[in-house]
Amino acid sequence: MANSLYIIPFTPYLSLQTKLTHIIFSLTKFLKYQLSVLLHIPISYTFTFFQNQNQSKTEHKLCNSITMESLFRLADQGNAFSSRYIWVNGPIIVGAGPSGLATAACLREQGVPFVVLERADCIASLWQKRTYDRLKLHLPKQFCQLPKLPFPEEFPEYPTKRQFIDYLESYAKKFEINPQFNECVQSARYDQTSGFWRVKTVSSNGSNCNEVEYICRWLVVATGENAECVTPDIEGLDEFQGEIMHACDYKSGEEFKGKKVLVVGCGNSGMEVSLDLCNHNASPSMVVRSSVHVLPREIFWRSTFELATLMLQWLPLWLVDKILLILAWFLLGNTAKYGLKRPTTGPLELKNTTGKTPVLDVGTLEKIRSGGIQVVPGTKRLTYDQVELVNGEMLDIDAIVLATGYRSNVPSWLQESEFFAKNGYPKAPFPNGWKGKSGLYAVGFTKRGLSGASCDASKIALDIGKVWKKETNKPKKRTTPGHRRCISIPAVLDFSL
């Protein structure tokens, strides 16, 4: 079967273009070597895009983005083409979570076409499929909205999980973001010979799985900080006969009613899962292995995060940390006597240096005080139906919830070592970790939540937009009605050379 090169011009009208393709590239096969000298000169093409079936044509004259020389360089390489080979006229965004959606919306505002690849079958799969039912935004909505679209006024200050998903879906609809779902990226590397990024994916459609290779000039990594869950190495984990799940699979404490549940982890997820279990008449024991900052979600009827942001405009970070800790002690008391020792580094400084987020208390501390939630030290090993703690104490348990966090999966598929570190984060800290070399970008790795992702998304779109606008000419507006025939670059280019 002949290998093929597909160009996506974002249009469903392909019949005329396909016919034109076979004519042009049949001649190309014959003239390839005779024209090899001339092919070193960049050739301009006119692409016709259809944003959707209801919109009119918009012509873009693309210069230097793709040359016949670079295409033949790809064709002449060994194993250059997989079964499907797709040229994307614009950036590829890997990930359709909030970060990817924000970048796509900003690119749309710049008039830059794009393709979003998403391994799941929906946008924001982390929120839709890997979060518990009672989840709400921990920060006020104004700090969590994406660029170009605020939350609806009728939404509460802390939107629920369902409300946030509805917001993201309306966001995608407004900016006409239609990801390629069920496209799992296997690898991405920059081809020095051609000057393009080569992104290999496996697409699943029902029972069929197809290998696809995308070619693009810009690659935006938007898989984020929470791409895959972290499972701790606990001795005896395989021997335990009760139910074991990660917090990403936990939905509600209803199924654990009357059970003794060990919650491993004391971050925001661990605290809230423990609270939910307690509210459903389970008996949670929360493992606290290290120090943790617990702050009230609100101080004097104002969001703690908002208050800290305001103070940072006038005061140094170390002083804001001191003020927050004094207020937290005044409102929450000494958390150390409940087994929650504070780090020596302040909460904001710790967040900036390590990315570790302070816990915003939503009622868990009161349950700990009343004995509804038991705080225990680290685990040593598990047995058939018990856990041995590091202090030698044995606890009977029926189930385990691992609230042990998430990590980036970038090292598993991106073949690049200059921009990203081994932990899957950009080497340069915020606000400089959004742009790499050779058209590589990162969004959603700021350790500053959705506000940080939105900031990077805007920068990325502006950066790509500047190049795009330099290389394209806007169509002239017609002052009188008329008809014209537009000859476009074909949608399917057969490179069976």
Instruction: Please report which confidence band the pLDDT of residue 355 belongs to, taking 50, 70 and 90 as the band edges.
Output: confident
Mean local confidence (pLDDT), 193-210: 86
Contact status, residue 345 vs residue 353, Cβ threshold 8 Å: yes
Q: Which residues contact 231 (CB under 8 A, 6 or more apart)?
A: 246, 402, 404
Tell me: do 92 and 238 sit in the same domain.
no
pLDDT bracket for residue 207 (50, 70, 90): low
Query: Domain ends where: 361, 388, 405?
Result: 405
pLDDT score at 164: 97
* 3-state SS, residue 319: helix
Residues 63 and 190 in one domain: yes
DSSP letters, 389-420, are: ETTS-EEE-SEEEE---EE--GGGTB---SSB
Same domain assignment for residues 78 and 171? yes
- Pair 184, 289 in one domain: no
Q: Which residue has the higher pLDDT, 205 or 154?
A: 154
Tokens of 360: 């915003």
Considering the domain architecture, whether residues 276 and 375 belong to the same structural domain is answered as yes
Q: 266, 259, 267: which is closest to 284 by C-alpha?
A: 259
Residue 438 sits in the same domain as residue 417: yes
Q: Is there a contact between 415 and 187 (Cβ–Cβ < 8 Å)?
A: yes
Assigned token pair, 497: 């050379």
Same domain, 421 and 435: yes
Q: CB-hemisphere CA count at 13 Å for 293?
A: 22
Contacts of 162 (CB under 8 A, 6+ apart): none
Given 405, 440, 458, the domain boundary residue is 405
Per the model's pLDDT, the better-predicted residue between 295 and 19 turns out to be 295
Mean pLDDT of the chain: 82
The answer, yes or no, to whether residue 497 has pLDDT greater than 50, is: no
CA–CA gap between residue 280 and residue 453 (Å, rounded) = 35
Q: Which of 401, 370, 405, 403 is nearest to 260 (CA)?
A: 401
Q: How far apart, in whole angstroms, are the C-alpha atoms of residue 403 and residue 360? A: 16
The region of weakest confidence among 222-231, 315-324, 349-358 is 349-358
Q: Is the pLDDT of residue 406 over 50?
A: yes
User: Could you tell me the CATH number of the domain that includes residue 117?
Assistant: 3.50.50.60
For residue range 476-490, what is the model confidence (pLDDT) as tens digits?
A: 454 444 433 333 333
Task: Express as a percent the part of the chain with pLDDT over 90.
Answer: 63
Q: What is the pLDDT of residues 127-151, one digit of tens each?
A: 999 999 999 999 999 999 999 999 9
* Of the candidates 307, 310, 406, 408, the residue with the CA atom closest to the CA atom of residue 360: 307
Q: How far apart are CA 263 and CA 274, in angstroms?
A: 7
Per-residue pLDDT, averaged over 386-400, amounts to 94
Given a cut of 50, is residue 47 above it in pLDDT?
A: no
Q: In sequence order, which ranges of 89-143 are alpha helices (DSSP H)?
A: 98-110, 125-129
- Please state whether 120 falls in left (phi above 0), alpha (psi between -120 and 50) or beta: beta
Q: Check whether 54 has a pLDDT greater than 80.
A: no
Residues 223 and 274 in one domain: no
The whole-number pLDDT of residue 15 equals 43
Number of domains in the chain: 2
Residue in the structure block whose two tokens are 């469903």: 12
Of 289, 284, 243, 244, nearest to 265 by C-alpha is 289
Q: Is the pLDDT of residue 71 over 90?
A: no
The values of phi and psi at residue 339, to 5°, are: 90, 10
Q: Are strands 260-264 and 283-287 parallel, antiparallel or unpaired?
A: parallel
- Domain end: 405, 420, 450, which one? 405
Cα–Cα dist 238/248, whole Å: 19
Long-range contacts made by residues 69-78, C-beta under 8 angstroms, separation at least 24? 69/39, 69/40, 69/42, 70/194, 70/195, 70/196, 71/5, 71/194, 71/493, 71/495, 72/32, 72/39, 73/193, 73/194, 74/191, 74/193, 74/194, 74/196, 74/215, 75/5, 75/495, 75/497, 77/193
- Same domain as 146, residue 23: yes
Do 43 and 141 belong to one domain? yes
- pLDDT category at 55 given cuts 50, 70, 90 is very low
Residues 88-128 have pLDDT tens digits of 989 999 999 999 999 999 999 999 999 999 999 999 999 99
With b meaning 16 or more CB within 10 Å and e meaning fewer, what string describes 247-259?
Answer: bbebeebeebeeb
Task: Note whether 243 and 264 are same-domain residues.
Answer: yes
Domain that holds residue 388: 230-405
Domain co-membership, 157 together with 277? no
Tens of pLDDT along 216-263?
999 999 998 998 999 998 999 999 999 999 999 999 999 999 999 999
Contact 62, 90 (CB under 8 A): no
